[in-house]
Each structure stands twice: as structure tokens, then as C-alpha cells.
Chain A
Amino acid sequence: MPDLIAKPALGHAPLTLAGTTLTEEPQARITAIAPFPGQTDAVARALGMAFPAPGQVVESGGRSLVWAGRDIAFLIGDAPTVALAASVTDQSDAWVTLALRGPQAVAALARLVSLDLRRVQAGQCFRTGLNHMPLVLIVEDADRFRLMTFRSMAQTAWHEVQDALEKVAARAALTA
């Protein structure tokens, strides 16, 4: 196996506007786990983690299991070391993860995501859209979010969030 060099999707420096920072997160190991029918509990036992209910993130031992759709979750962190009664695929290279953290994060995302994010809590996640792009939105806290979209769309996703952040910052400057 050749020794490949991992490269970030963008390599952009963090961008801070209106006290809110957009960053490209380090690439993590992402393993999609789709339990075979009736095997969800067995998969959870083998992983030593509860299988997340819709819209939930389960954290354990430095890994998170993020609900990613009907009967599928993404294990973020070390790959499973045991056989699972599930379809298991390494999707690490397929996604880019951005983070948006700060007081204007919700206002910026309101321009891109058709969900009311004003009352969200840590441990929630949403499968939705970032404008026209697919999005897994992970809530770290009320004003801290991780945004996963397809790596091939990384540049567009960054541009869209930057654009929203610039407009929110311009409005904040007017009303300051």
C-alpha cells in the first residue's frame, strides 16, 4: 500500500467575523454503520455505544455516533475493531467538516438552513440541507455547530457560510 499524504479539502485559515469563527476541522475517521434489519441492538452492544435515536449524537470514549438517516449512523473517531451485523463503509474521504462557533452562528445558519436553530442543545444533530448541499449538522452547544457536507462541495460550502457571515456581520455593524 503506497504511503499517501492526507490533505485537507480546503486548507483555509480560520475566518472570524462578528465574533463568530468559521474553521475547517481536521479530517476525522468517519465510518458509516447501517445495521442489518433487526440488528440495531446487537450492533450497539458490539460497539459498546447506544445506537442514536433520530437526531441524536451518542458520545463515548472520544468517539461519537451521529444519527445520519433512517437506520444509519456515522461513527466519528477510531474505526470499529469488531465485526458488526451491519453494512460498514469508510467514508472519511467523502466528507468535509466545517465548524461555525460564536454568537452569530445561529443567525448565519438561518440564511442557509431551513430549520429553527434558536433552541437547540448539545447532543442534537440534523440531516438537512445547506442551501442545495446535503448537510449533517451537529450541535456542540447553542452557538457552536459542526457542518458536514460532501467533500467535493467544500469550496462552495465555505463560500456560502462566509457570505452569510459577512452579511450578518454587516448588519450587526449597522445596528451596533
Chain B
Amino acid sequence: MRLTCPFCGPRDRREFHYYGAADYLNRPGPEAAASAWDDYLHNRDNPAGVTQDLWYHEQGCAAWLKVTRNTVTHEILAVDAVAGGAA
């Protein structure tokens, strides 16, 4: 498996650290209801198809990346940098 880092180009999977669902980008405000925090922290979809998750280019440029991929075909559809608002 390879991810094409927007900074470094195509790189082997072992250079990356997997963090979790891209839901972590949408942090509720401090006054949000408990149910919003429950969703943010615990509740995840488990799609057969397109999903988005966060990867860290640990052995590369140290950028956080949002990866859009297909869990059925294993196709990588997009890799976007989180910082700078591209993701």
C-alpha cells in the first residue's frame, strides 16, 4: 500500500502512522451537548465503501493527512494536508 503525500510524493505505508477516523477534525465546541461529544469520541460509521481517516507522515514530512479511501476496493482516492485547510 502506498499513500501519495502532498509534500513528499508516493510513499510506502510503513512511513505513516494511522490515527483514526477523520471525525476527529470536527471537534465540538466546549458547550456542545454530551451527545455531540459522545459522537465525536466514540461513534463511528463502518462503511463498505468510501471512508476518510487521519494519517501522520511520521517517517517523512511530519504532516497530518486526511486520506479518502475505499474499504472495498482498497483504492486511495485522495490524500490532503490537514494544516492549511486543504482537507
Contact = CB atoms under 8 A, between A and B. Distances in A.
Answer yes or no: are A and B bound together in one complex.
yes
Interface of A: 54-55, 69-70, 72, 114-115, 126-129, 134
Interface string B48-60: 0000000000011
A126 B8 contact: yes
B8 to A, nearest CB: 7
Contacts of B62: 69-70, 72, 127
Given A69-B62, A70-B61, A72-B62, 6 more contacts: A54-B8, A55-B9, A70-B7, A114-B11, A127-B60, A128-B15
Contacts of A69: 60-63
Interface in B36-77: 59-63
Interface of B: 7-9, 11-12, 14-15, 59-63, 81, 83
* Chain B interface, DSSP helix/strand/loop, else mixed: loop
A129 B8 contact: no
Contacts of B8: 54-55, 126-128
A128 B62 CA distance: 10
A128 B60 contact: yes
Contacts of A55: 7-9
Contacts of B7: 54-55, 70
Contacts of A128: 8, 11, 15, 59-60
B63 A70 contact: yes
B5 to A, nearest CB: 9
Contact of B14 (A70, A114, A115): A114
A32 to B, nearest CB: 12
Nearest to B60: A127
Contacts of A126: 8
A129 B12 CA distance: 10
B11 A54 contact: no
Contacts of B14: 114, 129
20 contacts: A54-B7, A54-B61, A55-B9, A69-B63, A70-B62, A70-B63, A70-B81, A114-B15, A115-B11, A126-B8, A127-B8, A127-B59, A127-B60, A127-B61, A128-B8, A128-B11, A128-B15, A128-B60, A129-B14, A129-B15
